[in-house]
């Protein structure tokens, strides 16, 4: 008897020693309260409910409270993942000892015995590096943490966290995201068959992905139902009835409305808040885009491109701004999904042609000219550094003396060049910079040909400049 007593005491002392050894540097379970999982940011139109795009960075996660998750899905998850969840302290002791013995005899990790609480600990409290380790030490540390978590948090809190964190495949994290991914419905709208099919996916999300292997996912569902019968959640007859319920998969759609605008906004958000916050922070972004204006702009671009196709026109862009400069519509190409369609021509530098003339005349008016100032539309030439510049009007005609008003109304080239000469290239570049044009940098690089659009500007910036001009400069 004394020998048995010594062995028992030695065993207890060994367990205590192991506990303190493997408990070193473990994080406190209360860190769960500080845990912030990623949430998808959503970009909306100005009305606040037209979703333009959901940013999918690491995947899709839509948090949901436990009371919104059907009881059958909760029961199915418990039955297949941790049948003793409601009675164990966070660790299923018999399973742990069985797995420990199998791993010791095999010399490697061949059995897991992870409870729901242990899986949650692995996801939230362990470092990513430690969570990936396949070692007995990690399992022991995981088990100790699971017990501590079970002492701090209720079973409902643990189950709620688990069901919102676990990976279900197809970039879906949590039950709500999974329901939307596979069935295009909210988790509380699932039928019993769909709910029990979802419960079986976390064990091997890639293998059981119903989009890729529905028969295997259905086999897993049958296992889930059998476990529910064993756990007393349902009867065998109910299991058969549930298995017979229809499974109607709906391929997920990731629509992007106004794609060029969306990714313009995305880039602005990244510059302001950082990519991690935009991809993971669950931002709800209300933009200035007006769906009605956007639809009209897209229709106009499509119609005009159809008219101009015979003239070898290959692309077009439209920006609609409110008087205060808010972007109401942005069409960056005829077809976003076409080759090179992702290039946003509203942001790409392009020669503006005669579009700068109103600003040249605005600068001239600012210098003291009036709409009645006379300019001579006659053959003219300029020479600089041995280079002769001799512009012509579009129609090849000359109109003699004309008023500034007439020159602008008829988009005459020679009076515009003379007006720019009067204003001065440097002054004009500074003016355009004040209007928000960023492509004009060093004035010494430019000449009088600027009047006819020889230098590139971005359509978005040019439209903004016109909005400023309309507002009185």
Check 354, 380, 411, 454 and give the catalytic one: 354
Q: What are the backbone angles phi and psi of residue 459, rounded to the nearest 5°?
A: -60, -40
Task: Output the CA torsion sign for 102, 104, 107, 109.
Answer: positive
Q: Is 354 annotated as catalytic? A: yes
**50: part of which helix (H) or strand (E)?**
none
Helices 214-231, 71-81: inter-axial angle, 10-degree rounding: 90
Question: Which residue in this structure is represented by tokens 């998969």?
Answer: 249
131 CB-near residues (< 8 Å, 6+ apart): 122, 123, 138
User: CB atoms < 10 A from the CB of 99, how many?
Assistant: 19
- β 42-44/51-54 pair status: antiparallel
Scanning 107-257, the segments in alpha helix (DSSP H) are 116-124, 128-132, 136-152, 155-165, 175-183, 192-199, 214-231, 236-243
8 Å CB contact between 453 and 445: no
Distance CA 219, CA 216 (A): 5
Q: Is 81 annotated as catalytic? A: yes
Check 39, 41, 81, 333 and give the catalytic one: 81
138 CB-near residues (< 8 Å, 6+ apart): 126, 130, 131
Distance CA 175, CA 166 (A): 8
8 Å CB contact between 210 and 183: no
Distance CA 445, CA 442 (A): 6
Distance CA 134, CA 147 (A): 20
Structure tokens at 287: 């933009």
Kindly list the catalytic residues.
81, 354
């Amino acid at each position: 008897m004394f020998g048995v007593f010594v062995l028992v005491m030695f065993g207890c002392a060994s367990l205590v020693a192991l506990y303190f050894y493997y408990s070193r540097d473990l994080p406190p379970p209360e860190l769960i309260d500080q845990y912030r999982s990623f949430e998808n940011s959503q970009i909306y139109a100005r009305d606040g409910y037209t979703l333009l795009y959901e940013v999918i960075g690491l995947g899709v996660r839509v948090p949901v409270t436990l009371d919104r998750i059907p009881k059958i899905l909760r029961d199915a998850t418990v039955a297949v993942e941790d049948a003793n969840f409601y009675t164990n302290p966070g660790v299923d002791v018999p399973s742990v000892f069985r797995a420990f013995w199998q791993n010791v005899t095999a010399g490697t990790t061949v059995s897991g015995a992870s409870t729901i609480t242990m899986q949650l600990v692995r996801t939230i409290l362990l470092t990513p590096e430690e969570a990936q380790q396949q070692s007995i030490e990690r399992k022991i540390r995981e088990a100790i943490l699971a017990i501590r978590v079970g002492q701090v948090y209720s079973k409902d809190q643990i189950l709620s966290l688990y069901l919102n964190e676990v990976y279900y495949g197809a970039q879906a994290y949590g039950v709500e995201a999974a329901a939307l991914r596979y069935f295009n419905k909210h988790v509380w709208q699932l039928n019993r068959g769909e709910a029990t099919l979802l419960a079986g996916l976390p064990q091997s999300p890639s293998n059981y992905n119903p989009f890729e292997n529905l028969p295997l996912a259905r086999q897993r569902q049958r296992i889930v139902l059998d476990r529910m019968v064993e756990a007393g959640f349902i009867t065998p007859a109910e299991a058969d009835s549930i298995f017979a319920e229809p499974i109607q998969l709906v391929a997920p759609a990731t629509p992007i409305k106004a794609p060029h605008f969306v990714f313009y906004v995305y880039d602005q958000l990244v510059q302001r808040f950082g990519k991690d916050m935009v991809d993971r922070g669950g931002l709800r972004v209300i933009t200035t885009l007006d769906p009605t204006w956007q639809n009209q702009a897209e229709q106009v671009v499509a119609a005009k491109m159809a008219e101009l196709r015979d003239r070898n026109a290959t692309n077009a862009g439209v920006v609609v701004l409110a008087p205060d400069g808010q972007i109401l519509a942005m069409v960056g190409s005829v077809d976003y999904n076409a080759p090179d369609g992702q290039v946003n021509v509203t942001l790409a530098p392009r020669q503006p042609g005669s579009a700068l003339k109103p600003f040249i005349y605005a600068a001239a008016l600012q210098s003291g000219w009036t709409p009645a100032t006379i300019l001579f539309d006659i053959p003219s030439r300029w020479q600089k550094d041995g280079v002769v510049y001799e512009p012509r009007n579009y129609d090849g005609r000359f109109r003699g003396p004309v008023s500034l008003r007439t020159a602008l109304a008829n988009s005459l080239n020679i009076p515009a060049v003379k007006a720019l000469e009067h204003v001065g290239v440097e002054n004009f570049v500074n003016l355009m910079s004040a209007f928000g044009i960023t492509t004009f940098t060093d004035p010494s690089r430019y000449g009088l040909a600027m009047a006819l659009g020889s230098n590139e500007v971005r359509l978005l910036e040019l439209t903004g400049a016109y909005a400023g001009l309309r507002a009185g400069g």
